[in-house]
Amino acid sequence: MAIIEISDLVYTYPGASKPSIDGVSLTVEKGEFVLITGPSGCGKTSLCRTFNGLIPHFYQGELKGKIVIAGQDVTCQQTFDMAKHVGLVFQNPENQLFALSVEKDVAFGLENLGIPRVEMRKRVDWALNLTGIYDLRERSPYEVSGGQQQRVAIASVLAMQPEIIVLDEPTSFLDPLSAERIFDVIYKLNQEHGITVVLVEHRLDLTAKYTNHLIVMNKGKICLEGNPREILCSDETSHIGVGIPKATLLYKRLKMNGFNVNKQIPLSSDELAVQLLEALNK
């Protein structure tokens, strides 16, 4: 069942001379883990903003086409109605944090949904623990570091347990190990609870392994879509300027040099290391 259905979407911000989204059609099935990448300014963030109705309701501007999320026509629904279905983690955590303590920020969405106190307590602690910020719960979100703020933003969305989680470069301020832990948590929620995940990322080194539905955007359009192994190995992808994982790139180079590698294109260093050990031990 499709949970995101977008057809022929064209969107222009107020005062902008050309559209930021220029003819996008996209279907995401329930339970998928989708990864969106592409050069900066290609429309990734704008597309995310349509999933919960921030575009067009908050940003206004001119919109053509159809956006149906979790069975709701976004253009006819209020943003607060969409928030029950879609959780959006912003690129800049400072744009989404405002409460006096980390814990209150994480509880805010639940308060607005009218979740009973006992359940709220449980979910807040669960989200704080998952993101490794339980010890920061009494602190002000403004006095913690950039990476810690990002974890607060992620926790506040996880706590709401929406059907769809949309994350716009959610770990850009995080150290690599913390980023990997957060991605693992999100992947687990996707696998075990069937939550649909849409992740926007430049760092495919860290994230390509989680998905089998990769979308490459360029100039407001979707230009490549499908299996990440094939897309990342294609020449078209290098041409657009997508940061290909080093393991995939090394595989491609070795193959070009006539080195006998496996048919399976690797997305992670583990996958390539196994192939190389086998090939070099022959």
223 binds another protein, rule: CB under 8 A: no
Q: Residue 122 Cβ, how far from another protein at the closest point, in Å?
A: 26
What does each C-alpha distance from 62 to 58, 75, 127 come to in angstroms? 12, 12, 37
226 binds another protein, rule: CB under 8 A: no
Q: Which of 49, 68, 71, 70 is nearest to 60 (CA)?
A: 49
3-class DSSP string for 15-59: CCCCCCEEEEEEEEECCCEEEEECCCCCCHHHHHHHHCCHHHHHC
Instruction: Tell me, residue by residue from 125 to 144, as one string, x for binding to another protein by CB under 8 A and - for no binding.
Output: -------------------x
Please list the residues that pair with 33 across neighbouring strands.
197
187 binds another protein, rule: CB under 8 A: no
| H/E element, 65 | strand 62-69
148 binds another protein, rule: CB under 8 A: yes
User: How far is CA 153 from its chain centroid?
Assistant: 13
Q: Residue 16 Cβ, how far from another protein at the closest point, in Å?
A: 7
Q: Residue 71 Cβ, how far from another protein at the closest point, in Å?
A: 30
3-state helix, strand, coil in the chain (%, to 5): 45, 20, 35
Site for another protein, residues 154 to 183, rule: CB under 8 A:
169, 172-180
Chosen residue from 8, 98, 246, 264 binding another protein by CB under 8 A: 246
| H/E element, 216 | strand 213-218
Q: Residue 134 Cβ, how far from another protein at the closest point, in Å?
A: 15
Instruction: Tell me, residue by residue from 38 to 77, as one string, x for binding to another protein by CB under 8 A and - for no binding.
Output: xxxx---x--------------------------------
Q: Which residues in this chain contact another protein in the complex, by CB under 8 A?
A: 13, 15-16, 38-41, 45, 91-92, 94, 144-148, 169, 172-180, 202-203, 205, 241-247, 249-250, 253-254, 257, 259, 268-270, 272-274, 276-277, 279-282
